[in-house]
Amino acid sequence: MADTIAERVVATAHAAYAALPKHGKPIVRDNGVAEWTILAAILVLKDDGDPHLVSLGTGVKVLPAARLPPLGDTVHDCHAEVLARRGFLRWLVAEAGRVQRGEGSEWVEWVGEKFVLAPGVQVALYVSALPCGDASTLHTAAHQPADAAEAFKAEAERRAGEQDAAPAPTEAVRGRNGYENYGAIRTKPGRTDSPPSISFSCSDKIATWTVLGLPGGLLGQLFAPVYLDLIVIGGVKMPEGHNAAEWQATVVAEAERALFRRVEGVEGEPRARSPLTAGLVPPPYRVTRPRIHLTPHRFELSREAALARGAVDPSTSTVSLSHVPCLGKPEVIINGCAQGSGWKAPGTTLLKDKQRSRVCKIEVLRAVVGLQQASGSDDTLADTTYHALKHANAPYQAAKAALRGVPAERLTAEWAKRLPHEFDTTAGGGAARPPFTGWIATGARYESFTARGVVQS
């Protein structure tokens, strides 16, 4: 794809956001503090046609582990990229429904066993800032006081020169701790006054999508893997004393490293491939390498735009937006719930319909089960848990194990002491050490709900 296409992706995403009502967008608070957020969008395009926006998300918030819902009825991770991808899942199911009903889809086809994207369809992700976590670590460090920036740059250059990068830590790193933990999987920082989140950074999640695809385990039953072809990133700032072209090339190289080079090992040497024994990704999964493009166009409600307008110490918006045009009006999400509902502690009684976001786990499950029921498959699906459906997809689980290892060990005391109960962390998984070893698994405890909204023990 030419860069002009990448810039059309940006223009389409910005125009779609600008056309949304004000409700749910960052504001200037009564005390004069300007809010900002991050925008992400997933678009599809065919050949040289216009990009078609299928899902948009804004947000920078994540709920702590103590607020994980056993019924999948709140959205735990409300970072823009994650909301955009969750909306994309709803769009895929909606398009598959059109195919199933004989209405036809411009974008999705049925090829006998699974739905696939129509020939020539490409998928683009736009994010108005470098994804949090590994892809943004160097950029963040470069805008720190000079000492930290220099030390990090020297380390980055040293690593880049090595054939095999030194292994990342075997444990997840909390938030932004330790720039020296280069290549590490990191959890989202969350609020400093709340217990830690166990949601992984957007860099780690996007890198996961480059191997496992966007549909994930649940939709992977119905859809062939769908991969990103293009990632367009905004908000890259020039640190003082750098050459612009060199700096851009460095940031792109960092994004490539964080978003796919970090996980390339899961493919192994082609000749040595024996996926079932070597812990490598089995087909149809593979490592994909989306093209990375940096856009100079600024998102109007980014932190940089607020600063450029003269805002002093702008603050993050606590509100998220999810807009999936095929589902109707945009949705405002606060504390993981659709707005107006108020916060309710996660429990075993399902949140009311209007309180649930359309992109929470149980709503995605309902959409998938609805699609399968409409095709006349067995009616036990409504009583099958999210966890069971996800785990029925053996190649997906094998690919995930190659990437993360398998839940095997208890978290270290330092992690565990601030979490509501013990979580498993992944380890091992074959001959090669999985690149995302140390992933914290939410597991069956939070995925044992059915489409009917019942938790099965």
CB nearer Zn ion, residue 136 or residue 372: 136
Cα(422)–Cα(438) distance, rounded to whole angstroms? 14
Q: Which is nearer to Zn ion, 203 or 385 (CB)?
A: 203
CB of 315 to Zn ion, least distance (A): 17
Q: State which residue, 95 or 204, has the beta carbon closest to Zn ion.
A: 204
In the block, which residue shows the tokens 């070893």? 437
Among 67, 76, 79, 90, binds Zn ion (CB under 5 A): 79
Stretch that binds Zn ion, among 197-205, 246-254, 305-313, 403-411 (CB under 5 A): 197-205
Of residues 16 and 206, the one with the C-beta less far from Zn ion: 206
Return the number of the residue (202 or 441) whose C-beta is nearest Zn ion: 202
- Shortest approach of Zn ion to residue 166 CB, angstroms? 25
Closer to Zn ion by Cβ: residue 190 or 430? 190
Q: How many residues bind Zn ion (CB under 5 A)?
A: 3
Residue 81 is among the residues annotated as catalytic for this protein? yes
Say whether residue 202 binds Zn ion (CB under 5 A). yes
Least distance (Å) between residue 81 CB and Zn ion = 6
Part in contact with Zn ion (CB under 5 A); list of ranges 88-96, 121-129, 198-206, 431-439: 198-206
Site string for Zn ion, 294-313 (x = CB under 5 A): --------------------
Residue pointed to by tokens 């191997």: 211
CB of 188 to Zn ion, least distance (A): 6
Among 63, 89, 123, 132, binds Zn ion (CB under 5 A): 132
Nearest distance from C-beta of residue 296 to Zn ion, angstroms: 21
Restricting to residues 402-421, which ones interact with Zn ion according to CB under 5 A?
Answer: none
Q: Which stretch binds Zn ion (CB under 5 A): 40-48, 201-209, 267-275, 281-289?
A: 201-209
Per rule CB under 5 A, is residue 61 in the interface with Zn ion? no
Tell me the CA end-to-end span of the chain in Å, nearest whole number.
Answer: 49
For residue 344 the two structure tokens come to 């309710």
Contact window for Zn ion (CB under 5 A) among 129-137, 253-261, 281-289, 329-337: 129-137
Whether the Cβ atoms of residue 97 and residue 374 lie closer than 8 Å to each other: yes
Residue type, 163: Q
Nearest CB to Zn ion, comparing residues 79 and 361: 79
Q: Whole-number minimum distance, CB 61 to Zn ion, in Å?
A: 10
Residues within window 208-267 making contact with Zn ion, judged by CB under 5 A:
none
Binding range to Zn ion, per CB under 5 A, among 104-112, 196-204, 307-315, 379-387: 196-204
Residue number closest to Zn ion, CB atom: 202
Query: Which among 65-73, 77-85, 315-323, 372-380 is the span making contact with Zn ion, rule CB under 5 A?
Result: 77-85
Show the 3-state SS of the chain.
CCHHHHHHHHHHHHHHHHCCCCCCCCCECCCCCEEECCEEEEEEEECCCCCEEEEEEECEEECCHHHCCCCCCCCCEEEHHHHHHHHHHHHHHHHHHHHHCCCCCCCEEECCCCEEECCCEEEEEEECCCCCCHHHHHHHHHCCCHHHHHHHHHHHHHHHHCCCCCCCCCCCEECCCCCCCCCCCEECCCCCCCCCCCCECHHHHHHHHHHHCCCHHHHCCCECCCCCCEEEECCCCCCCCCCHHHHHHHHHHHHHHHHCHHHHHHHCCHHHCCHHHHCCCCCCCCCCCCEEEECCCCCCCCHHHHHHCCCCCCEECCCEEEECHHHCCCEEEECCEECCCCCCCCCCCCCCHHHCCCCCHHHHHHHHHHHHHHCCCCCCHHHCEHHHHHHCCHHHHHHHHHHHCEEEEECCHHHHCCCCCCCEEEECCCCCCCCCCCCEECCHHHCCEECCCCECC
Select 76 or 79, whichever has its Cβ closest to Zn ion: 79
Catalytic entry in 7, 35, 81, 447:
81
Question: In the bound complex, what is the minimum distance in angstroms from residue 156's beta carbon to Zn ion?
Answer: 21
Binding stretches for Zn ion (CB under 5 A): 79, 132, 202
Task: Give the catalytic positions in this structure.
Answer: 81
